Amino acid sequence: MSTQAATETPTLHPARPARARGTFVSDTWVIARRGLIHMRRQPEALSDATIQPVMFVLLFAFVFGGAIAVPGGGSYKEFLMGGIFAQTIVFGCFGVALALSNDRNNGAIDRFHSLPISRASVLAGHAVANLIRAFLPIGFMTIAGFVVGWRIHSGVLDVLGAYGLMVVFSFAMIWIGVLLGSLVPTPEGVQGVAFVVIFPVTFIASTFVPTSTLPSVLKTIAEWNPTSSLANALRHLFENPGGVTPSSGAWPLQHPVAYTLIWAVGIVVVCAPLAVMQYQRSIKS
């Protein structure tokens, strides 16, 4: 040990520092910044948000691009983009679930809770970090889409609406993630839920194929699946093929934007309080 440490006693200076007033907002930001640093330094997590969606765009555009017909005609590449946006946004819930689960298991949550901060800021910090992180894949996919030949045909307001809807739905998915991270005890368990539950949810949908091509039961599930409505809403707002189905279909097919918004609000209203409750239970004991 350094001899200097002996002279400069490391603790118990009677003059305690004059503390600036800490606020919920600044504590949340400190924890959010930590979350963002974590993402940057975890190549696996980062690739989920960057390389993976870009790979999907390239794969589906070039491998299946010619084989899948879009009802009502139109380019499959343009149909595809809304689906891949939707799938990636739904997957977004895992970022926060994994981060929370890791923190619960490695003692970070205890460390935070022994500090004089609002406990809500720990959760809020994770939420903010993951909302910011959600922009990353959306940006990468937009670029990849343009490269493979995706085009937007609508006006500025519709485009803003599309990106706004993505942010809103990302926000909703964060609360599913918090709920998941508080319910499932280990990070491995979270991965398991990803493959068993969320993965199928994003596939039994209009993500990659029009719902009209699916067999009957799956077709009904897909029509009411919010992943489909999000994909269709984006197609509609970008004026890509496959957006709104004319009057005959299920209600979500006719009103994808409204249906998606209802889901987003519903998820937040139901999951956020549940998630906060479950989180508090998970950290008690």
- Per-residue contact string for residues 157-196; x = within reach of other proteins by CB under 8 A: ----------------------------------------
**Binding to other proteins (CB under 8 A): which residues in 87-116?**
106-108, 110-116
Tokens of 4: 């200097």
Q: Which stretch binds other proteins (CB under 8 A): 6-14, 138-146, 156-164, 228-236?
A: 6-14
Region of residue 82 (phi > 0: left; psi between -120 and 50: alpha; otherwise: beta)? alpha
Which is nearer to other proteins, 16 or 66 (by Cβ)? 16
CB 264 within 8 A of CB 175: no
CB 159 within 8 A of CB 187: no
Which is nearer to other proteins, 113 or 153 (by Cβ)? 113
- Binding of other proteins at residue 8 (CB under 8 A)? yes
Tokens of 170: 């990302």
Which is nearer to other proteins, 107 or 246 (by Cβ)? 107
- The span from the CA of 23 to the CA of 280, in Å, is 21
- The span from the CA of 228 to the CA of 207, in Å, is 6
Helix ranges (H only) for 60-214 are 76-91, 93-105, 108-113, 120-148, 156-183, 187-193, 199-203
Answer for which of 17, 66, 73, 215 binds other proteins (CB under 8 A) is 17
**Binding to other proteins (CB under 8 A): which residues in 114-153?**
114-117
Minimum CB separation from other proteins for residue 20, in Å? 5
- Positions that interact with other proteins (CB under 8 A): 1-2, 4-6, 8-13, 16-17, 19-22, 26-27, 30-31, 34, 37-38, 41-42, 106-108, 110-117, 284-285
